[in-house]
Chain A
Amino acid sequence: MKTLGPRGSSLWIAAIIHRLSGLALAIFLPVHFFVLSLAFHGGARLDGFLRWADQPLVKFTEVGLVFLLTVHLLGGLRVLVIENFDWHDGQKRLAMLVAAVSAVTAFIFLMRVF
């Protein structure tokens, strides 16, 4: 922690996770759109895909994506709150909360998928 210096703090980590999740979403989104547009050619192709997507590994990545979306959403809200509302102490707790909520969401999703 110490040698990480400014990079060790939970606030910094929150910002980095937000960035990485945004980046991952930006990479995933075209793929996601592509999958959905398979429906253009009728339900069959999509069904085929969805069966393929039933595999645990694929499911797992999807869980990850929902997780990313939630993390990014909450991280984004954190930024919007900092930027637009009067300053309050306890920013660190907010960052922790963000991490906790996204973990819980992802966990619920995980339970449902499997």
Chain B
Amino acid sequence: MNVRLYVWQRATAALMAPLVLVHIAVILYATRAGLSAADILSRTHNSIAWATFYGIFVAAASIHASIGVRNILVEWSPFSERGAGRFAAVLGIALALLGFHAVFALVVA
């Protein structure tokens, strides 16, 4: 990994740390009672705050995880640095697309 990837990975990690704490709190709170789709949707629907929250989370996680997976591939797979980078880019984009799709589903639809 070089300094550019490092900065992105650590910055997104630092950014996600509080987000994950909130997320875990929400999960703990939500699982208190039996969860229904309506419960989830009623909380998230049309909430710009939640949209932003999860939007940032998705963006950060995509960047963070793809760089992380790249490192793992470099070290643990026969992939070359270049190959690992490409694979990771695809993974990152896929993650972002799926993630934004989910956020869109929960907030808008």
Contacts and interface: CB of A to CB of B under 8 A. Distances in A.
B84 interface: no
A17 B1 CA distance: 20
A70 B109 contact: no
B105 A38 contact: yes
Contact of B68 (A26, A83, A109): A26
Contact residues on B (Cβ < 8 Å of other chain), bracket: 35 or more
Main SS of the interface on chain B? Answer: helix
A83 to B, nearest CB: 7
B102 A37 contact: yes
Contacts of B17: 73, 76-77, 80
Interface string A36-76: 11111111101100100010000000000010011001001
B94 interface: yes
Contacts of A109: 27-28, 31
A104 interface: no
A13 interface: no
B78 to A, nearest CB: 17
A99 interface: no
Main SS of the interface on chain A? Answer: helix
A100 interface: no
Contacts of A41: 105, 109
B97 to A, nearest CB: 9
Q: Which of A37, A40, A50, A112 has the most CB of B within 10 A?
A: A37
Contacts of A69: 20, 23-24
Contacts of B37: 39, 43-44, 46-47, 50
23 contacts: A22-B72, A23-B68, A26-B69, A32-B102, A33-B98, A34-B102, A37-B98, A37-B101, A37-B102, A39-B102, A40-B104, A40-B109, A41-B105, A43-B37, A73-B17, A73-B24, A76-B13, A76-B17, A80-B13, A80-B14, A80-B17, A112-B28, A112-B31
